[in-house]
C-alpha cells in the first residue's frame, strides 16, 4: 500500500531553506538534493516501516548524499512529515511538532 504524505509547515520551510542554501553553492546541488528528498519520500510512502525508529510511531529516513534526515510519523491512512532535519544541528528540535 502506498500512503499519502503531508508536510508540516516547518518541514516544508526546511526543505526550501536547504534547497536555497545549495542553490547558492551550486544550482545542480539544489536539484540533486530535491531529487534525493523525493526518492526518500517515495520509500517512506511505500515502506515506512523500513525506516529507523526514533520513538513510538516516529521514524527517520536518511537522505542519500546529504546530511539530512526526514522525520515522519505514521497516522491512519497517511504519513506526516514532521521535519527535514539537518543532522549536524540541534537534535530533536522538531519534537514539538508531534
Burial class (CB in 10 A: 0-12, 13-18, 19+), 90: exposed
- Output the pLDDT for position 48: 96
- Output the pLDDT for position 90: 80
**5-90 is classed CATH 3.40.1280.10:** no
pTM, to two decimals = 0.92
What pLDDT, in 10s, does the model give residues 24-50? 999 999 999 999 999 999 999 999 999
pLDDT mean values, one per 10 residues, the chain (98 residues) = 93 97 98 98 96 94 97 95 92 79
Amino acid at each position: 500500500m502506498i500512503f499519502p504524505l503531508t508536510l508540516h509547515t516547518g518541514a516544508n520551510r526546511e526543505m526550501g531553506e536547504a534547497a536555497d542554501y545549495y542553490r547558492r553553492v551550486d544550482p545542480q546541488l539544489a536539484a540533486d538534493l530535491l531529487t534525493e528528498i523525493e526518492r526518500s519520500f517515495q520509500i517512506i510512502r511505500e515502506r515506512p516501516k523500513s525506516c529507523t525508529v526514533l520513538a513510538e510511531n516516529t521514524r527517520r529516513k536518511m537522505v542519500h548524499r546529504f546530511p539530512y534526515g526526514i522525520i515522519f510519523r505514521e497516522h491512519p491512512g497517511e504519513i506526516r512529515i514532521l521535519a527535514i532535519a539537518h543532522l549536524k544541528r540541534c537534535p530533536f528540535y522538531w519534537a514539538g511538532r508531534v
